[in-house]
Amino acid sequence: MKNPPNRLSEEVSPYLLQHAHNPVFWMPWGEEVWKKAKEENKPVFLSIGYSTCHWCHVMERESFESEAVAEVLNRDFVAVKVDREERPDVDRIYMTAVQAMTGQGGWPLSVWVTPEGKPFYGGTYYPPSSSYGRAGFMDVLRQISSAWKDRNEEVLGWAEDLSTRIRLLGEGTGGGPVADAEKILQTATDQLAMEYDRKNGGFGGAPKFPRPSQPLFLLRRSFRERDEKLLEMIRHTGRAMRAGGIYDQIGGGFHRYAVDGEWAVPHFEKMLYDNGQLMGLYAELGAATGEEWPWEAVAGMDRYLSRDLRVEGGGLASAEDADSEGVEGKFYVWTRKEVLELAKGEEFKLAEEIWGLTEEGNFMDPHHPVQGWNVLGRRRVPSREEEKVLEGIRARLEKRRQERIRPGKDDKVLTSWNALAISGYARAARWGGGRAYAEKAEEVWGFLEKNLLRADGTPIHRWRNGKKDDARLLEDSAGVLQALIDLHQATLKVGYLNRAVGLAQKMLETFEDRKSGGLWASSDETLLAKMKDDYDGAEPSGNAVAALALAELARLTDQPKWMEASRRILDWLGERMRRLPQAVPHALLALERVNESPARLVLAGEGCEKFMETGVYRPDVLITTAAKDHPSEFVRGLAERAKEPTAYLCEGQSCRPPVQSLDALKDLLRIRSR
């Protein structure tokens, strides 16, 4: 029997709604929380997570659905739930606090704060009872309640000291002018390449995350340095991920990460931000290698996004859960017997060999131990004939899988994550995937334009079932700016570029710290601390995305102020790039862009779209179109000169002789300067 609804029942977030019938008297983040805490002189228990978080579900089942736990929480604390995906700015502050206190972080994030929002104790997941030297949630609650009542001044002192430290950490390290860009890039290349796993592909050991900006940086460096060893690292990594269980061999798309070092067994949740970034990486890898297999992964991601995450109107939902029916991975795994029911004789033998089916299986949810579950992967690359057979089996398995109970879906639409998907689709079109991918990019953009942009063109963060928030976050502005630039290059529509110019100006006005450098993550002045993100997590940092987008905008428009703004951000990130390049691969992409020759392909004349399909990998070349409303005076001049489809390969405002045929353009692009 359900408990009566608490205050979360009035919220929009699927994560908050999951907790709407807990016996805990949860409140959503807002002014009422602090008012209640001050009036009752209680500490606030702040619980931060997201709807597809496995350990968040575990802690809910074990603790937040417990009447005994709820009794203590409701009596001694003001309990608050926050969806980290809706409020990444709130999450960033309190994650910084927990990392400062414990040296580690994660979700669910559990933080105890004063009625003024100042943290004094925290951790992540707590089991309900103490065991094996690990503090249980009930014991922690009792100890904190006792400390609040008996040692209040001491607790407030801790909170004050920690808050001061958070504010300092939030401003970032800064760096000073980046005068040694090539040295930074080469050192970073060497250090990132040192993490390469020669046996299994990828970087580092278990658990293994895709982290698309790192292989993308090394892929572009392989072009810049004509380094076949770097290219082979990324080819091997891409193949290993495509063949592993981290890639859904039946339904397409990538899971969050692999729990092992071989990409074999995933943590099963699927996130839009991973697939959006990986689509662009695999498309570029396909262009760099000239091979077909990366495009299989691109097509699989498109199939997944279009089939399972698309919402009415063309936007994309945020994520799918790892669990179904309360069991991790149950929707995705197969027993040997199940596959044998759908594939007979030689078909089954092939499936058994290629996908690695065994009687004992290779995965077990430790909370629900079931023998014989297989996560499908590729043991070897099948021949074309074998692939046709496997495709028939795959279709049957997918049909059977649709009869299962699906994992939960977080159907809120986030601007920053949809922007990553727009860029992924646009880059797939840019690198030779065809017009259909550009149309997908425009469809997602159309949803954002209708539902998630203000009248002045600045983005809103979240939409769900027609309900919007009003957050102003850097990750949205920077992501949309990059998406507009990528849309322009994929479609040759100047309107996207002109919108990018307007958004860039507003982004800098809203978020830039002209005194100390860098861009603030949020414009919310009511938070405990203002924060700047200076490292890449699962998503690239807002500062790095902004730096790369501004550099590309400068190159496309001939407006130096955007390059100056990009350099200011990179100067602020300079020390981080020198000391810990592994933390900032997307910033390294921006530094590479700023440091390379300003190559630009200007396409002019009616029918110039024919020049889009060159098949030549030139990541240093940006594409634009000569039109009368182009923001560059130089490009507008080329529009007037072209009487037939013409391609101009330019560095700055110096161009090689124009060409009118695709073959001539291919020859021109193959000539590289250093």
User: What is the residue extent of each domain of the chain?
Assistant: 7-170, 182-324+410-595, 332-403, 599-669
Residue 141 has pLDDT above 80, yes or no: yes
pLDDT at 134: 81
Residue 344's pLDDT is what? Answer: 86
φ/ψ of 459, rounded to 5, equals -85, 145
**Which of 532, 508, 516, 650 lies closest to 587, judged by CA?**
532
- 174: pLDDT strictly greater than 80: no
* Dihedral-angle region of residue 325 (phi above 0 means left; psi in -120 to 50 means alpha; beta otherwise): left
- Cα dist from 41 to 149, 354, 530, 653, whole Å: 10, 63, 26, 66
For domain 7-170, give its CATH number from 2.40.50.150, 3.50.50.60, 3.40.30.10, 3.90.1150.10. Answer: 3.40.30.10
Please give the share of the chain, as a percent, with pLDDT higher than 90: 90
Phi then psi for 54, rounded to 5 degrees? -60, -50
What's the CA dihedral at 306, 311, 316, 320 to 10 degrees?
A: -80
pLDDT bin (cut points 50, 70, 90) of residue 170 is confident
pLDDT tens sequence across 156-169: 999 999 999 999 98
Q: For residue 302, give the 3-state DSSP assignment.
A: helix
What element of type H or E holds 299? helix 293-304
Residue type, 37: A
Q: The tokens of 347 are what? A: 């078909």
**Nearest Cα to 162, choosing from 77, 100, 246?**
100
Taking residues 176-198, report their average pLDDT: 94
Does the pLDDT of residue 14 top 90, yes or no? yes
Residue 674 has pLDDT above 70, yes or no: no
Q: How far apart are CA 588 and CA 572, in angstroms?
A: 13
Q: What is the pLDDT of residues 595-645, one digit of tens each?
A: 999 999 999 988 999 999 899 999 999 999 999 999 999 999 988 887 799
Dihedral sign computed on CA atoms, order 120, 124, 128, 134:
negative
Q: In this structure, which amino acid lies at residue 538?
A: A
- Checking if the pLDDT of 2 tops 80, the result is no
Report the sign of the C-alpha dihedral through residues 313, 486, 217, 554, in that order: negative
Q: Which residues pair with 646 in a beta bridge?
A: 604
For residue range 571-608, list pLDDT tens digits in order: 999 999 999 999 999 999 999 999 999 999 999 988 99
What pLDDT is recorded for position 450? 97
Pairwise CA distance, residues 536 & 614, whole Å? 33
C-beta atoms surrounding 547 within 10 Å: 30
Cα(223)–Cα(411) distance, integer angstroms: 39
CB 19 within 8 A of CB 25: no
CATH code for 182-324+410-595?
Answer: 1.50.10.10
List, as one string, the DSSP characters of 514-548.
Answer: TTT-SB-SB--TTSSS-----S-SSS--HHHHHHH
Please, what is the end-to-end C-alpha distance for the chain in angstroms? 70
Report pLDDT for 364: 82
Alpha helices, H only, 558-641: 560-579, 585-595, 633-641
Contact 216, 281 (CB under 8 A): yes
**Omega of the bond prior to 88 within 30 degrees of 0, cis?**
no
Give tens-digit pLDDT for 315-327: 999 999 999 998 9
Kindly report the pTM of this predicted structure: 0.95
Q: pLDDT class for 673, splitting at 50, 70, 90?
A: low
Q: What is the predicted pLDDT for the residue at 23?
A: 97
Rounded CA separation 656/668 (Å): 9
Write out the DSSP string of 94-130.
Answer: HHHHHHHHHS---SSEEEEE-TTS-EEEEES---SS-
State the Cα–Cα distance between residues 304 and 267, nearest whole angstrom: 17
Q: What is the token pair recorded at 580?
A: 């810990």
Beta strands 78-83 and 27-28 are parallel
Tens of pLDDT, residues 561-573: 999 999 999 999 9
Distant-in-sequence, close-in-space partners of 134: CB < 8 Å, separation ≥ 6: 127
Query: What Rg value do the Cα atoms of the chain yield, rounded?
Result: 26
- Residue 625 forms beta bridges with which residues? 603
How large is the average pLDDT for residues 14-30? 96
Phi-psi region of 36 (alpha: psi -120 to 50; beta: other; left: phi over 0): alpha
| Neighbouring residues of 17: CB distance < 8 A, sequence distance ≥ 6 | 8, 9, 11
**Residue 318 to residues 266, 273, 277, 413, 439: CA-CA distances in angstroms?**
18, 8, 14, 6, 20
Q: Which tokens belong to 559?
A: 């407006």
The Cα 21–Cα 413 span in angstroms is: 24
Burial of 100 per CB tally in 10 Å (0-12, 13-18, 19+):
middle
Mean predicted confidence (pLDDT) in 357-374: 87
Q: What is the 3-state secondary structure (H, E, C) of 358-399?
A: CCCCCEEECCEEEEEEECCCCCCCCCHHHHHHHHHHHHHHHH
Cα separation, 645 vs 655, in Å, equals 16
> For 100-114, how does the pLDDT look when each residue is reduced to its tens digit (9 = 90+)?
999 999 999 999 999
Side-chain-side CA neighbours of 88 within 13 Å: the count stands at: 22
- For 58-75, what is the mean pLDDT? 96
> 618: Cβ–Cβ under 8 A, 6 or more apart, which residues?
223, 599, 669, 672
For 301-317, the pLDDT digits (tens) are 999 999 999 999 999 99
Task: Identify the residue whose tokens are 């009415």.
Answer: 312
Interatomic CA distance for residues 82 and 105, integer angstroms = 16
Residue 1 pLDDT: 60
Per-residue pLDDT at 4: 85
Question: What single-letter DSSP state applies at residue 212?
Answer: T
- pLDDT of amino acid 420: 98
The mean pLDDT value of the chain amounts to 94
**Listed range (172-186, 212-226, 519-533) with the worst mean pLDDT:** 172-186
Q: Within a 10 A sphere around the Cβ of 673, how many other Cβ atoms?
A: 7
Strands annotated E in 350-504: 363-365, 368-373, 409-410, 413-414, 462-464, 467-468
Q: What is the DSSP letter of 142?
A: H
Q: For residues 569 and 504, give the distance between their C-alpha atoms in angstroms, rounded to a whole number.
A: 13
Pick from 46, 56, 63: which is nearest to 112 by CA?
A: 46
Region 71-99: mean pLDDT is: 96
Predicted pLDDT at 132: 75
Task: Report d(CA 321, CA 343) in Å as an integer.
Answer: 29
